[in-house]
Amino acid sequence: VHGTFYGTTTDDGTNGSGTIYALNLGLSVVTWANPAPITYGTALGSNQLDATANVPGSFAYAPASGTMLNIGTHALSVIFTPTDTVDYGSVTDSVSLVVTTAPLTVAAANANSIAGQALPTFTGTITGLTNGDNITATYSTAATSSSPPGTYPIVPSLVDPNNLQSNYAVSLINGTLTIILPSYSNMVMSTANLLGYWPFTIASQSNSVVNGYTGRFVSNAIVGPPGSGPALFNMSGNTA
């Protein structure tokens, strides 16, 4: 505010009589440019709230320093109050600030399972969360304990109860579930019906005594698809 204001003093309590006076109010000038865009999660600070004035005084900003804004274009405002309020008046000003999305990556961890057994609990990592946002992830697959051996994608999904996901540029990275055949090692038996519907291999055989025999695996597994029946294994050996 700047200008010359005229009036009169009072004389014996009567308005409009007495000495004519003139009040000159100085001009306060505030300079403030639009700040550069910031990424979501960046708190407002001196890089954004950096208005200056031609005379000493104080600045009151809204939003205040330390505020974290959602993505979008926001108006920042300031009220400048000069130290010398007799000769200078207060000034308001405003600028625009753009807040852009922050990167967020959710990666499912790879996992292994054995055909016919319960699937493991899937895990993963979330990188890039900021501002204390309550965003978590779940991990799932189309495979089940009855699925045949092979590889299956483990798919991450965000859990966002406060609808904050729009503040992020999200990358979802699948993991891989690998289902393999069972493998049995150091098994000793004379004759066994191994009940189950999945083929498996015997990796090694110890020379342990079972029912008077030192057994050694001598025949191959009967391999069949699910539902084809149990696999029969024969053991033979010499009398211990």
The H or E element spanning position 102 is strand 102-108
Angle subtended at Cα 153 by Cα 109 and Cα 116, rounded to the nearest 5 degrees? 95
User: What is the spatial distance between Cα 173 and Cα 179, in angstroms, rounded to a whole number?
Assistant: 20
Query: Could you tell me if 213 and 205 are in contact, meaning their C-beta atoms sit under 8 angstroms apart?
Result: no
pLDDT at 62: 98
> Residue 110: what residue type?
N
User: What is the spatial distance between Cα 172 and Cα 157, in angstroms, rounded to a whole number?
Assistant: 8
- Read off φ and ψ for residue 122, nearest 5 degrees: -85, 145
pLDDT tens, per residue, the chain with 240 residues: 444 444 555 555 555 555 555 555 678 999 999 999 999 999 999 999 999 999 999 999 999 999 999 999 999 999 999 999 999 999 999 999 999 999 999 999 999 999 999 999 999 999 999 999 999 999 999 999 999 999 999 999 999 999 999 999 999 999 999 999 876 544 444 334 343 434 444 444 444 443 333 333 333 443 344 444 444 443 333 333
Burial of 69 (0-12, 13-18, 19+ CB in 10 A): buried
| CA-wise closest residue to 111 among 177, 182, 174, 156 | 177
Which pTM does this prediction carry? Answer: 0.66
| CA-wise closest residue to 207 among 184, 238, 173, 170 | 238
pLDDT at 14: 53
pLDDT at 89: 93
Both tokens of residue 110?
């790879």
Residue with tokens 């010398």: 84
User: What is the spatial distance between Cα 48 and Cα 103, in angstroms, rounded to a whole number?
Assistant: 22
Beta bridge pairs of residue 202: 184
Q: How far is CA 117 from CA 25, 110, 198, 225, 230, in A?
A: 85, 17, 11, 16, 16
